Amino acid sequence: MDSYIWGVILVGTLATFATRALPFVLLGRFAQHPLLRFLGRYLPPVMMVLLVVYATADLISSSATLGIVLMSTICVAFLQWTLKNPLISIFAGSLLYALLI
């Protein structure tokens, strides 16, 4: 039984490592390609917007909740814009949301 568990852990570790390293190995020579530079510049902010929309879509069930979500989101955006510290921004926005809800 122990060898089975160690085998599963080993396969999971190798698969995780391979999926993380494979893009760098395969796309390393194309690092300066305009498409990859474009994706590297614009994809992270797009993903953040998608995460915000996905996370807040279920929270907006009434106008009161909409106001709370908007205030918390504005708080996070403002703090991130001014302080440029994600931990403080997320913590403050979550705290504001918890206090208002």
CB-based contact 73:53 (threshold 8 Å): no
pLDDT of the residue at 36: 85
Shared domain for 98 and 61, answered yes or no, is yes
Dihedral sign for Cα atoms in the order 91, 92, 93, 94: positive
| pTM reported for the whole predicted model | 0.56
pLDDT of the residue at 40: 87
pLDDT of the residue at 96: 95
pLDDT of the residue at 23: 85
**Domain that includes residue 23, residue range:** 1-31
Give the C-alpha separation, 74 to 61, whole Å. Answer: 19
Give how many domains the chain has, as a whole number.
Answer: 2
Shared domain for 25 and 55, answered yes or no, is no
pLDDT of the residue at 27: 81
Shared domain for 59 and 27, answered yes or no, is no
- At 39-70, the pLDDT tens digits run 889 998 899 889 888 877 777 667 778 888 88
Q: What is the mean pLDDT of residues 71-77?
A: 92
Residue 60 lies in a domain: yes
Shared domain for 85 and 47, answered yes or no, is yes
Q: How would residue 2 be classed by pLDDT, with cut points 50, 70 and 90?
A: confident
Q: % helix / strand / coil in the chain, to the nearest 5?
A: 90, 0, 10
- The length of the chain is 101
